[in-house]
């Protein structure tokens, strides 16, 4: 990875008007399976086993847990209680990074790119996760937008506009989204941004849907080295234009 970064010939000043916008769960941290186990445990503890199928089906389609609870007509009091319990469980879980995440993020930071996280997770959990893995200094803290610290959720294009406003950047087209869900692709399409999609071969239904998509700014990758290579390709093409 060090050898790769030394061979990159593009200077810092050519990158500081670009923003790399990343998802957290399933993209930076390898958490999909653990998240499902936590959610299954939560529903069983609350006697909601009959809600598992529609909830897990919704999650597979890229919907958020809070969004699904509303769709299946769960009572407000129940939703509030489950949300509180879920926050506690998520904050106490141990997380692990995908291979090469740390090296790639450090390299992107050294290239002068603005690093952002946009997640429908909670701010305290997001910051704790970054701190635990020694990543917190790599991201611009004003560009960490979460479920509970910003008014809009993915896939709203208002998020992209706000990120570029905070950095005082004019060209909203100079953004690259990294994610692992259908919602991340929709998020990119709404603002006509590049999307680097981290594939999940265990979710065949989702991958079949992705393979049928024809968005012209979609890159499909299977690991973080390929993410770095895809970012390099986008930047190289943009500089040549």
pLDDT in tens, 213-228: 789 999 999 999 999 9
**Cβ(42)–Cβ(86) under 8 Å?**
yes
Write out pLDDT tens, residues 190-217.
999 999 999 875 666 667 777 777 899 9
Whole-number Å distance between alpha carbons of 195 and 186: 9
> Can you give the pTM of this predicted structure?
0.82
Whole-number Å distance between alpha carbons of 31 and 12: 32
Write out pLDDT tens, residues 138-189.
999 999 999 889 999 888 999 999 999 999 998 889 999 999 988 899 999 9
Residue 109 has a pLDDT of: 94
CB count within 10 Å of CB 205 equals: 10
> Mapped to the 3 state alphabet, what secondary structure does the chain carry?
CHHHHHCCCCCHHHCCCCEEEECCECCCECCHHHHHHHHHHHHHHCCCHHHHHHHHHHHHCCCCHHHHHHHCCCCHHHHHHHHHHHHHHHHHCCCCECCCHHHHHHHHHHCCCEEEEECCCCHHHHHHHHHHCCCHHHCCHHHEECCCCCCCCCCCCHHHHHHHHHCCCCCCCCEEEEECCHHHHHHHHHHCCEEEEECCCCCHHHHHHHHCCCCCCEEEECCHHHHHHHHHHHHHHHHHC
Residue 11 has a pLDDT of: 46
Closest CA to 51 of 87, 21, 32, 79: 79
Instruction: Judge whether residue 12 has pLDDT over 90.
Output: no
Residue 49 has a pLDDT of: 93
Q: What are phi and psi of 131, to 5 degrees?
A: -65, -45
Confidence of residue 5 (pLDDT cuts 50, 70, 90): very low
Closest CA to 86 of 16, 148, 178: 148
Structure tokens at 102: 């740390």
How does the average pLDDT of the chain come out, rounded? 87
Write out pLDDT tens, residues 154-167.
889 999 999 999 99
Residue 201 has a pLDDT of: 59
CB count within 10 Å of CB 238 equals: 15
Structure tokens at 154: 């993915």
Whole-number Å distance between alpha carbons of 232 and 235: 5
Write out pLDDT tens, residues 110-137.
999 999 999 988 898 899 899 999 999 9
**Cβ(114)–Cβ(20) under 8 Å?**
yes
Write out pLDDT tens, residues 66-112.
888 989 998 999 988 998 888 788 777 778 999 999 999 999 999 99
Q: What are phi and psi of 72, to 5 degrees?
A: -95, 15
Percent of the chain with pLDDT over 90: 55
Closest CA to 195 of 36, 55, 32, 23: 23
196, β-bridge pairs: 178, 219
């Amino acid at each position: 990875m060090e050898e790769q970064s030394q061979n990159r010939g593009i200077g810092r000043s050519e990158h500081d008007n670009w923003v790399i916008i990343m998802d957290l769960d399933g993209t930076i941290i390898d958490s999909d399976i653990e998240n499902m186990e936590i959610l299954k445990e939560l529903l069983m503890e609350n006697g909601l086993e009959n809600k598992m199928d529609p909830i897990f089906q919704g999650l597979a389609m890229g919907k958020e847990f809070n969004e699904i609870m509303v769709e299946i007509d769960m009572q407000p009091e129940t939703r509030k209680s489950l949300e509180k319990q879920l926050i506690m469980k998520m904050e106490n879980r141990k997380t692990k990074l995908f291979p090469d995440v740390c090296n790639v993020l450090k390299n992107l930071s050294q290239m002068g790119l603005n690093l952002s996280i946009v997640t429908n997770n909670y701010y305290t959990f997001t910051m704790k996760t970054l701190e635990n893995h020694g990543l917190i200094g790599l991201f611009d803290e004003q560009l960490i937008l979460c479920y509970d610290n910003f008014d809009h959720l993915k896939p709203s294009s208002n998020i992209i506009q706000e990120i570029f406003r905070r950095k005082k950047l004019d060209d909203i087209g100079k953004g690259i989204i990294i994610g692992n869900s259908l919602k991340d692709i929709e998020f990119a399409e709404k603002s006509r941004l590049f999307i680097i999609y981290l594939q999940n071969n265990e979710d065949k239904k989702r991958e079949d849907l992705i393979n049928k998509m024809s968005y012209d700014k979609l890159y499909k990758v299977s690991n973080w080295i390929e993410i770095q290579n895809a970012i390099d390709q986008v930047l190289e093409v943009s500089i040549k234009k």
